[in-house]
Structure 1
Amino acid sequence: MFQETRRITKEGRFLVVNTSPIIIPRTSRAHASKRYPISFDLHYYLVNHGWEFIDDIIWLKPESSVKNRNGCFVQHRKQLAYKPNAVTEYLMVYRK
């Protein structure tokens, strides 16, 4: 998708990508979920394919779009039950 975007984008024009870390759910109660910072891998890919990094903007997601992952921690106060809410997204700005 990004190769085609680069092909049709004129020189000097911008690409802005909105990304957020994703959470891979645990497979069972014996395993933990994993947080994957997709924006960092995407940055490496875009720079290596000819996009010039210009800026990153970190913004707070609207409250209604954030899943409450730490409800168990609030309820029982067990340190190992703490799971942060993903409340931010990255707007990454590149130029051709």
Structure 2
Amino acid sequence: MSDDSVTTWRDLLREAMEGLGDPGPVVAYAPDEAAFGIEFSPGYGLAEGPAMLAWTATRVYFPLVDDGREWLGSAPRDPQAAGQKHLGGE
């Protein structure tokens, strides 16, 4: 994704779910589903994406940012004995 591209949380959520093999559906959106259609530039610079959370039957998705680059992370909805690996920039 180039720095001048435009996306939405809806598009990034679809990509994240596909990458994890999460069949969905999304069962809840916060603050509301409309926030997922707002366009923003996910490239480096300032964080532009609106606050959001999304829940599927198996995962919770949330925004991540490193040096202004934005993408979605997720964690299992249910407790996991193995814990959660680090998320974010390395």
TM-score, length-normalised on structure 1?
0.29
Q: Which has the larger radius of gyration?
A: 1
- Give the structure with the higher percent helix: 1
Higher RCO structure (Cα 8 Å, ≥6 apart): 1
TM-score between the two structures when normalised by the length of structure 2: 0.30
